[in-house]
Amino acid sequence: MDIVTRFINYIKINTTTNRKNGSLGIMPSNPNETKLAKLLESELKELGLTNIKRRDNAITTAVLPSNSSKKLPKIAFFAHLDTSAEQTNDTKAQIHKFNGGEICLNKELNIYLKDESLKNYIGDEIITTDGTSLLGADDKAAIASIMNAVKYFVDNPKIEHGDVTVCFVPDEEQGLRGAKALDINEIDADFGYCLDCCEIGELIYENWNAGNAEVTFNGVSAHPMNAKGNLINSLLLAHKFISMLPSGEAPEYTENKEGYFWVKELSGNSAQTILKLDIREFDEKKYHERMKFLNELTNSLKKLWGDERISIDLSHRYKNVFNYLKSEDATPIKLAKKAFKNLNITPKIKPMRGGYDGSVISEKGIPCPNLFTGAHNFHSIYEFLPVSSLKASSNTVIEIIKLAANLEK
């Protein structure tokens, strides 16, 4: 099976993450994630991998055993089964021979793909939808890439490699739930790679340190006719708190590695109001300073308003992968860059102003940069995947495994 056919087969299974089910703790949130996991389980068995395990929550793992007498690094590759919730329609894929200009996705609905980056793919084949759904290359291009790489080594048993673990997790698209549920003790790897970023050449090994704050403001309700001296409006207390946050340190004012406080949700009434904030910072020290600032601000307002008027709950969501890679000379980074060079792929190294499964997996003990899938416009009906980029993604996985065979421990 060629990689394009493999990808098309995977996107035919609608695995849109179900936020309602996820909020109820159901995993996988969409039963079709289990359907896709079962298909992958069957394909892994056909390929002859070992230690194949599909769990009730759809987390699926398998091992391509080492064929070397040397003690080589053990590598894991990760992808997620679900697609984002922006669109729930079934995917109707189209493959276009691109010769320039626009791509008509749906003539009847007058939907055209007009993207500046298309100019880089003249002469290529481009996979799109019919404009009524996501393509699902996030993250089924990754699954196809990994499975195609595994097949390459099965078909070429004389090419030396160490142990390679593949792992597919559910519900990345709602809080990295699958990665958080993963028992890392079941993954025997020295380091790993997620495949969950975009165009050809993207390599990510920095992302946010991410935290949450929930601030509760307790007022005193009163009827307006006798409110004077009695009413304490919790909504106004919340607004005073917000006004004390640093000016300009919000998502709409920041870029690159600039951190922020994001006032994300405010709900309540005069009696009680709850404020939810996201805290984001690349630098670990600055991240802890932001969390400390919120805690100290709350304590200061307790002294002003009284302990009963305000409380804060701070929690951590995920950490920066680079906290665990430590330096640019980390083995997984060096291998990825060398693979790019060998394949004549120009690296596009960028910090991710977000998180991915590798954020959680790295914290659990397997340092895990993020490799490109080749797709553009994730989470959009204009998502598209150049075939050459999909092949390059899989070739990168293959090249990393080959390069690791020169790193006897």
Distance between CA atoms of 87 and 70, rounded to whole angstroms?
A: 48
**Catalytic site residue from 33, 41, 82, 363:** 82
Say which residues have a Cβ less than 8 Å from residue 388's Cβ, sequence separation at least 6. Answer: 121, 124, 125, 200, 374
CB neighbours of residue 194 within 10 Å = 30
The answer to whether 203 touches 337, Cβ cutoff 8 Å, is yes
Enter the tokens of residue 36.
């896709």
Token pair 């609905």 in the structure block, residue: 109
Q: Would the CA dihedral through 73, 79, 145, 6 be positive or negative?
A: positive
Q: Could you tell me which residues are beta bridge partners of residue 265?
A: 276
Enter the tokens of residue 19.
């936020």
The answer to whether 135 touches 87, Cβ cutoff 8 Å, is no
What is the model's pLDDT at position 222?
84
Domain 3-206+320-406 is in which class? alpha beta
The answer to whether 192 touches 361, Cβ cutoff 8 Å, is yes
> ∠ at Cα 171 (42, 380), nearest 5°?
105
The dihedrals phi and psi of 244, each to the nearest 5 degrees, come to: -90, 0
Amino acid at 98: F
The domain 214-318 having CATH identifier 3.30.70.360: the answer here is yes
DSSP string, 109-162: TTEEE--GGGGGGTTSEEEE--SSS---HHHHHHHHHHHHHHHHHHH-TTS---
Cα–Cα nearest to 309, from 317, 318, 299, 319: 299
DSSP string, 318-362: E--THHHH-STT-HHHHHHHHHHHHTTPPPEE--BSS--HHHHHH
Say which residues have a Cβ less than 8 Å from residue 344's Cβ, sequence separation at least 6. Answer: none
Whether this model's pTM surpasses 0.85: yes
What is the model's pLDDT at position 158?
96
Q: What is the pLDDT along the chain (409 residues), one digit of tens a residue?
A: 999 999 999 999 999 999 999 999 999 999 999 999 999 999 999 999 999 999 999 999 999 999 999 999 999 999 999 999 999 999 999 999 999 999 999 999 999 999 999 999 999 999 999 999 999 999 999 999 999 999 999 999 999 999 999 999 999 999 899 999 999 999 999 999 999 999 999 999 999 999 999 999 999 988 888 878 889 999 999 999 999 999 999 999 999 999 999 999 999 999 999 999 999 999 999 999 999 999 999 999 999 999 999 999 999 999 999 999 999 999 999 999 999 999 999 999 999 999 999 999 999 999 999 999 999 999 999 999 999 999 999 999 999 999 999 987 6
Helix (H, G, I), strand (E, B) or coil at 192: strand
Helix then strand then coil, in percent of the chain rounded to 5, is 35, 25, 40
**Catalytic site residue from 41, 130, 163, 172:** 172
Establish whether 163 is a catalytic residue: no
What is the model's pLDDT at position 5?
97
Distance between CA atoms of 313 and 154, rounded to whole angstroms?
A: 51
What is the model's pLDDT at position 229?
84
Distance between CA atoms of 356 and 143, rounded to whole angstroms?
A: 15
What is the model's pLDDT at position 409?
65
Domain residue spans in the chain?
3-206+320-406, 214-318
What is the model's pLDDT at position 96?
96
- Under DSSP, the state recorded for 212 is E
Phi-psi sector, 4: left (phi>0), alpha (psi -120 to 50), beta: alpha
Numbered residues of the known binding site for Zn(2+): 80, 138, 173, 196, 379
Establish whether 199 is a catalytic residue: no
Numbered residues of the known binding site: 80, 138, 173, 196, 379
The CA-based dihedral angle spanning residues 31, 140, 330, 153, taken in that order and rounded to the nearest 10 degrees = 110
- Residue 196: which H helix or E strand, with range? strand 191-197
The answer to whether 215 touches 309, Cβ cutoff 8 Å, is no
Token pair 């300073």 in the structure block, residue: 289
